[in-house]
Amino acid sequence: MNNADEVLVALRRVIRATDLHSKYLSKTTGLTAPQILLLQSIRDKGQVTIGELAAEVSLSQATVTTILDRLEKRDLIYRERSSTDKRKVHAFLTESGTETLRDAPTPLQDQFTRQFNDLQDWEQTMIIASLQRVAQMMDAQHIDASPVLDVGILDRQTNTSEENQVYKNK
């Protein structure tokens, strides 16, 4: 196998691992990785606004709101207006949300982050530079992405116009 094929196989393995883990999360919890990350952030931060959550998980407020709507429908979170500033809305875990999160498997990016942080600084820098170069070679450097290892659109709504735009620019 030549070097280009080795890279393509490694990329395919990353994509496949992400896909398999996403399916595992969905099968065991009925949740997506972004949903679990938001639940974790709500748990860890306590009283938290939608804007703070969006910044914490590097997603837009609109995407976070859509995900929170789904979590609220499943009775995993609830939202309340701030008593001191009515413009702010805070998200909280329900008892069911706490239980679901306690039983949920670790998201793939948590496992990756732990191992990545154990690397030497020079190794981290080398990986970052290499992956940024690969993204550029795939004409993907302008695609908006958050640090969530999940397949598809993060709020699970079809976004064919965005997907089509990526391929029209090629």
E strand or H helix at 49 = strand 48-49
pLDDT at 109 over 90: no
Determine the Cα–Cα distance for residues 146 and 156; give it in Å rounded to an integer.
14
pLDDT above 90: percentage of residues in the chain: 43
Q: Could you say which architecture CATH assigns to the domain 3-160?
A: Orthogonal Bundle (1.10)
Question: Reading across the β-sheet that carries 77-81, which strands appear in turn?
Answer: 48-49, 89-93, 77-81
- Which tens digit of pLDDT belongs to each residue from 141-162? 777 776 666 665 555 443 433 3
Task: Write 6-12 long-range contacts (CB < 8 A, 24+).
Answer: 7/134, 11/134
Determine the Cα–Cα distance for residues 74 and 51; give it in Å rounded to an integer.
22
Q: What is the pLDDT of residue 57?
A: 85
Based on the number of CB atoms within 10 Å of its own CB, is 154 exposed (0-12), middle (13-18) or buried (19 or more)? buried
Q: What is the pLDDT of residue 82?
A: 81
Q: Are 66 and 155 in contact (CB under 8 A)?
A: yes
Q: What is the pLDDT of residue 166?
A: 40
pLDDT class for 32, splitting at 50, 70, 90? confident
Determine the Cα–Cα distance for residues 146 and 168; give it in Å rounded to an integer.
22
Tell me the longest C-alpha to C-alpha distance in the chain.
Answer: 63
pLDDT class for 169, splitting at 50, 70, 90? very low
Q: Which two tokens stand for residue 141?
A: 């450097």
pTM value > 0.75: no
> How many CB atoms lie under 10 A from the CB of residue 39?
24
Position 164: which residue type? N
In which residue are the tokens 């735009």 written?
A: 165
Query: Rounded mean pLDDT of the chain?
Result: 84
What is the residue extent of each domain of the chain? 3-160
- Which tens digit of pLDDT belongs to each residue from 59-95? 889 999 999 999 999 999 999 988 888 888 899 999 9
Q: Are 94 and 56 in contact (CB under 8 A)?
A: no
Q: What is the pLDDT of residue 22?
A: 86
Position 154: which residue type? L
